[in-house]
Protein backbone atom coordinates (compact mmCIF):
# COMPACT_ATOMS: atom_id res chain seq x y z
CA UNK A 1 0.00 0.00 0.00
CA UNK A 2 2.83 2.40 0.87
CA UNK A 3 4.49 1.60 -2.46
CA UNK A 4 1.27 2.37 -4.37
CA UNK A 5 0.90 5.63 -2.50
CA UNK A 6 4.47 6.61 -3.38
CA UNK A 7 3.88 5.77 -7.05
CA UNK A 8 0.69 7.88 -7.05
CA UNK A 9 2.46 10.85 -5.46
CA UNK A 10 5.40 10.54 -7.86
CA UNK A 11 3.06 10.36 -10.89
CA UNK A 12 1.11 13.42 -9.71
CA UNK A 13 4.38 15.31 -9.26
CA UNK A 14 5.54 14.42 -12.77
CA UNK A 15 2.22 15.51 -14.33
CA UNK A 16 2.28 18.77 -12.39
CA UNK A 17 5.88 19.44 -13.40
CA UNK A 18 5.09 18.65 -17.05
CA UNK A 19 2.17 21.08 -17.01
CA UNK A 20 4.37 23.81 -15.57
CA UNK A 21 7.05 23.06 -18.16
CA UNK A 22 4.55 23.42 -21.03
CA UNK A 23 3.24 26.70 -19.60
CA UNK A 24 6.76 28.01 -19.08
CA UNK A 25 7.78 27.01 -22.59
CA UNK A 26 4.71 28.75 -24.05
CA UNK A 27 5.73 31.98 -22.33
CA UNK A 28 9.09 31.84 -24.05
CA UNK A 29 7.71 31.32 -27.58
CA UNK A 30 7.81 34.33 -29.89
CA UNK A 31 4.16 34.12 -30.96
CA UNK A 32 4.31 37.40 -32.89
CA UNK A 33 7.00 36.03 -35.20
CA UNK A 34 5.02 32.82 -35.64
CA UNK A 35 1.95 34.86 -36.65
CA UNK A 36 3.98 36.79 -39.20
CA UNK A 37 5.25 33.53 -40.70
CA UNK A 38 1.75 32.07 -40.68
CA UNK A 39 0.42 34.99 -42.69
CA UNK A 40 3.29 35.18 -45.18
CA UNK A 41 3.99 31.46 -45.69
CA UNK A 42 0.56 29.86 -45.26
CA UNK A 43 -2.00 32.54 -46.14
CA UNK A 44 -0.51 35.15 -48.44
CA UNK A 45 1.48 32.52 -50.32
CA UNK A 46 -1.75 30.65 -51.13
CA UNK A 47 -3.41 33.67 -52.68
CA UNK A 48 -5.31 35.48 -49.93
CA UNK A 49 -4.82 39.14 -50.83
CA UNK A 50 -7.36 41.18 -48.84
CA UNK A 51 -5.22 43.62 -46.85
CA UNK A 52 -7.71 43.90 -43.98
CA UNK A 53 -7.93 40.11 -43.61
CA UNK A 54 -4.14 39.74 -43.58
CA UNK A 55 -3.79 42.48 -40.95
CA UNK A 56 -6.35 40.84 -38.68
CA UNK A 57 -4.73 37.42 -39.04
CA UNK A 58 -1.47 39.05 -37.90
CA UNK A 59 -3.21 40.72 -34.98
CA UNK A 60 -5.38 38.03 -33.38
CA UNK A 61 -3.49 35.79 -30.95
CA UNK A 62 -4.58 32.35 -32.08
CA UNK A 63 -2.70 30.64 -29.23
CA UNK A 64 -5.24 32.09 -26.79
CA UNK A 65 -7.97 29.99 -28.41
CA UNK A 66 -6.34 26.58 -27.85
CA UNK A 67 -5.24 24.64 -24.78
CA UNK A 68 -1.92 25.84 -23.27
CA UNK A 69 -0.59 22.32 -23.81
CA UNK A 70 -0.73 22.81 -27.60
CA UNK A 71 -0.17 26.58 -27.74
CA UNK A 72 3.17 25.97 -29.46
CA UNK A 73 1.23 24.48 -32.40
CA UNK A 74 -1.28 27.33 -32.66
CA UNK A 75 0.28 28.83 -35.80
CA UNK A 76 1.00 25.55 -37.56
CA UNK A 77 -0.60 24.81 -40.92
CA UNK A 78 -3.29 22.50 -39.57
CA UNK A 79 -6.52 22.32 -37.54
CA UNK A 80 -6.19 21.61 -33.82
CA UNK A 81 -8.49 19.89 -31.29
CA UNK A 82 -10.51 22.09 -28.93
CA UNK A 83 -12.48 19.37 -27.13
CA UNK A 84 -15.97 17.88 -27.62
CA UNK A 85 -14.71 16.26 -30.84
CA UNK A 86 -14.36 19.66 -32.49
CA UNK A 87 -11.43 21.59 -33.98
CA UNK A 88 -10.15 25.09 -34.62
CA UNK A 89 -9.76 25.39 -38.39
CA UNK A 90 -6.46 25.59 -40.25
CA UNK A 91 -5.35 29.29 -40.39
CA UNK A 92 -5.45 29.42 -44.20
CA UNK A 93 -9.05 28.19 -44.26
CA UNK A 94 -10.08 30.82 -41.67
CA UNK A 95 -8.46 33.55 -43.78
CA UNK A 96 -9.90 32.24 -47.06
CA UNK A 97 -13.47 32.02 -45.73
CA UNK A 98 -13.16 35.49 -44.23
CA UNK A 99 -11.92 36.92 -47.54
CA UNK A 100 -14.76 35.24 -49.42
CA UNK A 101 -17.26 36.91 -47.07
CA UNK A 102 -16.09 40.34 -48.37
CA UNK A 103 -16.84 42.06 -45.09
CA UNK A 104 -17.44 45.77 -44.63
CA UNK A 105 -17.28 47.57 -41.29
CA UNK A 106 -21.06 48.13 -41.43
CA UNK A 107 -21.94 44.44 -41.89
CA UNK A 108 -23.96 42.17 -39.65
CA UNK A 109 -22.50 38.65 -39.71
CA UNK A 110 -23.79 35.26 -38.60
CA UNK A 111 -21.38 32.43 -37.80
CA UNK A 112 -22.56 28.85 -37.41
CA UNK A 113 -20.10 26.81 -35.33
CA UNK A 114 -18.52 29.06 -32.70
CA UNK A 115 -16.01 26.43 -31.61
CA UNK A 116 -13.05 28.12 -29.93
CA UNK A 117 -14.26 31.63 -30.79
CA UNK A 118 -11.26 32.35 -33.04
CA UNK A 119 -13.23 32.86 -36.26
CA UNK A 120 -15.73 35.06 -34.40
CA UNK A 121 -12.87 37.26 -33.16
CA UNK A 122 -11.56 37.60 -36.73
CA UNK A 123 -15.02 38.57 -37.98
CA UNK A 124 -15.55 41.05 -35.13
CA UNK A 125 -12.45 42.98 -36.20
CA UNK A 126 -13.89 43.46 -39.68
CA UNK A 127 -17.66 43.79 -39.24
CA UNK A 128 -20.01 45.85 -37.09
CA UNK A 129 -21.90 42.96 -35.42
CA UNK A 130 -21.23 39.24 -35.10
CA UNK A 131 -23.78 36.64 -34.00
CA UNK A 132 -22.34 33.18 -33.44
CA UNK A 133 -24.05 29.87 -32.61
CA UNK A 134 -22.70 26.56 -31.39
CA UNK A 135 -24.84 23.50 -30.77
CA UNK A 136 -22.52 22.38 -27.95
CA UNK A 137 -23.24 24.42 -24.79
CA UNK A 138 -19.79 23.87 -23.26
CA UNK A 139 -18.04 25.31 -26.32
CA UNK A 140 -20.46 28.24 -26.54
CA UNK A 141 -19.95 29.08 -22.86
CA UNK A 142 -16.18 28.78 -23.07
CA UNK A 143 -16.02 30.98 -26.17
CA UNK A 144 -18.34 33.58 -24.61
CA UNK A 145 -16.10 33.86 -21.53
CA UNK A 146 -12.92 34.08 -23.59
CA UNK A 147 -14.27 36.66 -26.04
CA UNK A 148 -15.56 38.78 -23.17
CA UNK A 149 -12.15 38.61 -21.47
CA UNK A 150 -10.63 39.87 -24.75
CA UNK A 151 -13.04 42.84 -24.60
CA UNK A 152 -15.13 42.05 -27.68
CA UNK A 153 -18.35 44.01 -27.34
CA UNK A 154 -19.78 43.38 -30.80
CA UNK A 155 -20.11 39.59 -30.52
CA UNK A 156 -23.18 37.72 -29.27
CA UNK A 157 -22.80 34.00 -28.54
CA UNK A 158 -25.54 31.45 -27.98
CA UNK A 159 -25.94 27.69 -27.94
CA UNK A 160 -28.51 26.44 -30.41
CA UNK A 161 -29.28 24.64 -33.66
CA UNK A 162 -27.31 26.31 -36.44
CA UNK A 163 -29.63 24.83 -39.07
CA UNK A 164 -32.23 27.36 -37.90
CA UNK A 165 -29.92 30.38 -38.08
CA UNK A 166 -30.74 33.33 -35.81
CA UNK A 167 -33.96 34.85 -37.25
CA UNK A 168 -34.28 37.51 -34.53
CA UNK A 169 -31.27 39.35 -35.97
CA UNK A 170 -31.72 38.55 -39.67
CA UNK A 171 -31.06 39.55 -42.37
CA UNK A 172 -27.29 39.07 -42.39
CA UNK A 173 -24.85 40.63 -44.83
CA UNK A 174 -22.64 37.56 -44.52
CA UNK A 175 -22.98 34.07 -43.06
CA UNK A 176 -19.99 31.82 -42.40
CA UNK A 177 -20.48 28.16 -41.52
CA UNK A 178 -17.54 26.32 -39.94
CA UNK A 179 -19.02 22.81 -40.03
CA UNK A 180 -20.29 20.81 -42.98
CA UNK A 181 -23.97 19.98 -43.57
CA UNK A 182 -24.87 17.48 -46.27
CA UNK A 183 -27.13 20.12 -47.84
CA UNK A 184 -27.36 23.88 -47.41
CA UNK A 185 -29.89 24.75 -44.65
CA UNK A 186 -32.76 26.68 -46.23
CA UNK A 187 -33.06 28.96 -43.18
CA UNK A 188 -29.57 30.34 -43.79
CA UNK A 189 -30.40 31.21 -47.39
CA UNK A 190 -33.62 32.90 -46.26
CA UNK A 191 -31.75 34.93 -43.63
CA UNK A 192 -29.21 36.25 -46.13
CA UNK A 193 -29.64 39.93 -46.98
CA UNK A 194 -29.81 41.20 -50.55
CA UNK A 195 -26.24 41.17 -51.82
CA UNK A 196 -25.29 38.89 -48.93
CA UNK A 197 -22.65 36.15 -49.04
CA UNK A 198 -22.92 32.65 -47.57
CA UNK A 199 -19.61 30.80 -47.16
CA UNK A 200 -20.17 27.15 -46.30
CA UNK A 201 -18.57 23.69 -46.68
CA UNK A 202 -21.10 21.22 -48.05
CA UNK A 203 -20.96 17.44 -48.28
CA UNK A 204 -20.44 14.22 -46.40
CA UNK A 205 -17.33 12.19 -47.28
CA UNK A 206 -16.45 14.63 -50.06
CA UNK A 207 -16.88 18.27 -49.12
CA UNK A 208 -16.66 21.42 -51.21
CA UNK A 209 -16.31 24.95 -49.87
CA UNK A 210 -19.00 27.00 -51.58
CA UNK A 211 -19.83 30.68 -51.92
CA UNK A 212 -23.49 31.62 -52.36
CA UNK A 213 -24.43 35.20 -53.24
CA UNK A 214 -27.97 36.60 -53.15
CA UNK A 215 -28.64 39.02 -56.04
CA UNK A 216 -32.13 40.34 -56.85
CA UNK A 217 -33.56 37.55 -54.71
CA UNK A 218 -31.75 34.85 -56.68
CA UNK A 219 -28.90 32.67 -55.37
CA UNK A 220 -25.67 32.31 -57.31
CA UNK A 221 -23.49 29.32 -56.35
CA UNK A 222 -19.73 29.01 -56.79
CA UNK A 223 -17.43 26.15 -55.84
CA UNK A 224 -14.17 27.25 -54.22
CA UNK A 225 -11.97 24.33 -53.08
CA UNK A 226 -12.32 20.81 -51.64
CA UNK A 227 -12.21 20.89 -47.83
CA UNK A 228 -12.58 18.68 -44.77
CA UNK A 229 -14.70 19.97 -41.87
CA UNK A 230 -16.37 18.35 -38.89
CA UNK A 231 -20.00 17.51 -39.72
CA UNK A 232 -22.77 19.94 -38.85
CA UNK A 233 -24.81 18.54 -35.95
CA UNK A 234 -28.58 18.91 -35.49
CA UNK A 235 -30.50 18.93 -32.24
CA UNK A 236 -32.66 15.84 -31.95
> What is the set of active-site residues?
89
SS3 49: coil
Quick check: 176 and 96 in contact, CB under 8 A? no
Distance of CA 217 to the CA centre of its chain: 29
16-45: b (≥16 Cβ within 10 Å) or e? eeeeeebeeebeeeebeebbeebbeebbbe
Alpha-helix residue ranges (DSSP H) falling in the chain = 2-28, 31-37, 51-59, 91-101, 118-126, 137-149, 186-190
Quick check: 177 and 188 in contact, CB under 8 A? yes
DSSP string, 178-210: -SB-SS--HHHHHTEEEEEEEEEEEESSSEEEE
Amino acid sequence: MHLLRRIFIFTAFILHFSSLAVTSASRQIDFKTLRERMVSEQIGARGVKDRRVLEVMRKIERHRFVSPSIAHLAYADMPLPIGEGQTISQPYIVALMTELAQLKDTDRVLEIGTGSGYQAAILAELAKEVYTIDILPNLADRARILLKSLDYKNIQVKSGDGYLGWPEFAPFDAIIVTCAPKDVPSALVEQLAEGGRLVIPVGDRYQELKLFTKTSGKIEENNVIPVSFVPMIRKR
